[in-house]
Amino acid sequence: MMSRSQPAVHPLEVPPLTDAAENAVPMRVRMKDIQGMPGTPAGLALRVCQFVFAAVSLCVMATTNDFPSVTAFRYLIAAVILQSLWSLSLAIVDVYALLVKRCLRNSRVISLFTMGDGITSTLTFAAACASAGITVLIGNDFNNCAQNHCTRFETATAMAFMSWFAVSPSFFLNFWSLASR
Binding-site size, a second copy (CB under 8 A): 43
- Cα 122 to chain centroid distance, Å, stands at 11
Q: Is 158 a residue that touches a second copy (CB under 8 A)? A: no
Query: What's the min distance (Å) between Cβ of 22 and a second copy?
Result: 6
Query: What's the min distance (Å) between Cβ of 75 and a second copy?
Result: 8
What is the 8-class DSSP label of residue 1? -
Distance CA 144, CA 138 (A): 6
Helix, strand, coil shares of the chain, percent, nearest 5, are: 80, 0, 20
> Cβ of 176: how many Cβ atoms within 10 Å?
14
Segment contacting a second copy by CB under 8 A, of 8-16, 42-50, 84-92, 148-156:
8-16
Segment contacting a second copy by CB under 8 A, of 2-10, 43-51, 83-91, 96-104:
2-10
- Give the residue ranges of DSSP H helices in 14-70: 16-29, 41-63
Segment contacting a second copy by CB under 8 A, of 12-20, 56-64, 87-95, 98-106:
12-20
Judge whether 76 and 131 are in contact, CB under 8 Å: yes
Segment contacting a second copy by CB under 8 A, of 15-23, 49-57, 83-91, 96-104:
15-23
Residues 54-73 that bind a second copy (CB under 8 A): 69-72
Residues 83-142 that bind a second copy (CB under 8 A): 125-127, 129-134, 136-137, 140-141
HSE at residue 168, side-chain half, CA atoms within 13 A, is: 7
Judge whether 43 and 170 are in contact, CB under 8 Å: yes
Q: Which of 57, 81, 59 is nearest to 159 (CA)?
A: 57
Q: Is 7 a residue that touches a second copy (CB under 8 A)? A: yes
Q: Is 4 a residue that touches a second copy (CB under 8 A)? A: yes
Residues that bind a second copy (CB under 8 A): 2-4, 6-12, 14-16, 19-20, 22-24, 27, 69-72, 75, 125-127, 129-134, 136-137, 140-141, 172, 175-176, 178-180
